[in-house]
Amino acid sequence: MTSPSEPVDIADITHMLNDEPVKTPAPRPRGDKTSEAELEQRIRLVVKWITLGMPYSDVVAVCCTNFGVCDRTARSYVADANQRIKDANVKDRDLEIAKAKARYESLLHLSSEDKQYSAAIQANNSLVKLLGLAEPEKIEHGASDTLTQLVAQIRGGDPKQSV
């Protein structure tokens, strides 16, 4: 992109997005509130810019320049956009866990019907692990073990070997 000291042109960003150019409204007198629809459009654009990897300082600069807002408002837009991205990913993760659970349950059922008990046990163990129902693995250690040895053991390495 550009360095934070260089002005960022909205046309450069919209070209990257392959969208229609953003129509920046004419500057309003200070104190006029942004409409809900306009605010929604702005935050959606900020979400796109963030997901494209645009640096934080550039996003803030583009908001200030092209939306005619102060630095504090631009940072608020970025915070709202980041929250939306986070919320979407949490929902996606829950959905993916639910789909994986359904697949394991189906595999468990089919394996049991076909008397493939080894596959059924593996599906069940995977399901238990996915749902977080398995007991944590116990780590044997002595009072003389160093922290480095314990970390190596947790990571699955040789406990006698240093990290």
More confident of the two residues 11 and 106: 106
| pLDDT > 80? residue 36 | yes
Residue 40 in tokens = 């929604």
Q: CA separation (Å) from 139 to 37, 105, 155, 156? A: 56, 30, 11, 10
3-state class percentages of the chain: helix first, strand second, coil last, to nearest 5:
60, 0, 40
More confident of the two residues 14 and 54: 54
Of 119-123, 132-136, 144-148, the poorest mean pLDDT is in 144-148
More confident of the two residues 97 and 72: 72
Contacts of the segment 15-21: beta carbons below 8 A, 24+ positions apart: 16/52, 17/48, 17/52
How many CB atoms within 10 Å of residue 60?
21
Of 24-28, 29-33, 129-133, the poorest mean pLDDT is in 24-28
- Predicted local confidence at residue 157, as pLDDT: 62
On average, the pLDDT of the chain sits at 78
| pLDDT > 60? residue 94 | yes
Yes or no: say if 52 and 17 are a contact pair by the CB < 8 Å rule: yes
Share of the chain above pLDDT 90, in %: 34
